[in-house]
Amino acid sequence: MKNRFTKVLGYAVVAGLLNLSTGCSSDDPITPDPEPNPGESRWFTIAGAVMDETPGNGNGGTVIYSISKENAQDPDYAINVFENGFQVRSQRTARLQSSVDGSTMFNIAYGGDNGGEFFKYMVNGGDNFEQTGGLVNILQYAGTSPRWVKLFDGDKTGVAVSVTRPQVNEGETYKFTRGTATIVTIDMENVEISNNISFEIPLSAEEEAAGHHIFRLDTPVLNAAGDKLVIGIWMGKTDPATGERDANAYERLGSKALVVDYPSLENPKVITSTLGFGDTSGYRSFNSFLAEDGNIYQATQRDPGGSHILKINSNNEYDNSYDFSLDEALGVEGAYIQSWRYVKNGIAYVMYTHEGAATTGFNATTQQSFLARVDLNSRTAERVNLPYEPDMYFFQYQGFVVDGDNVYVTVSPVGKDGNIYILNSVTGEATKGAQLLNEPGNHFIGVF
Instruction: List pLDDT tens digits, range 191-202.
Output: 999 999 999 999
Is 182:8 a contact under the CB 8 Å cutoff?
no
Tens of pLDDT, residues 259-283 = 999 999 999 999 999 999 999 999 9
Question: Which residues sit opposite 218 in a β-bridge?
Answer: 232
Q: What is the mean pLDDT of the chain?
A: 90
Q: How would residue 17 be classed by pLDDT, with cut points 50, 70 and 90?
A: very low
For residues 7-26, give the mean pLDDT.
Answer: 34
pTM of the model: 0.89
Q: Is the pLDDT of residue 253 over 50?
A: yes
Of the two residues 379 and 142, the one the predictor is more confident about is 379
pLDDT category at 4 given cuts 50, 70, 90 is very low
Question: What is the pLDDT, as a whole number, of residue 142?
Answer: 81
Q: What is the pLDDT confidence band of residue 431, given thresholds at 50, 70 and 90?
A: very high
| Whether pLDDT at 143 is above 90 | no
Confidence of residue 18 (pLDDT cuts 50, 70, 90): very low
Banded pLDDT at 58 (limits 50, 70, 90): confident
The model's pLDDT over 109-137, given as tens digits with 9 standing for 90+, comes to 887 778 888 999 999 999 999 999 888 89
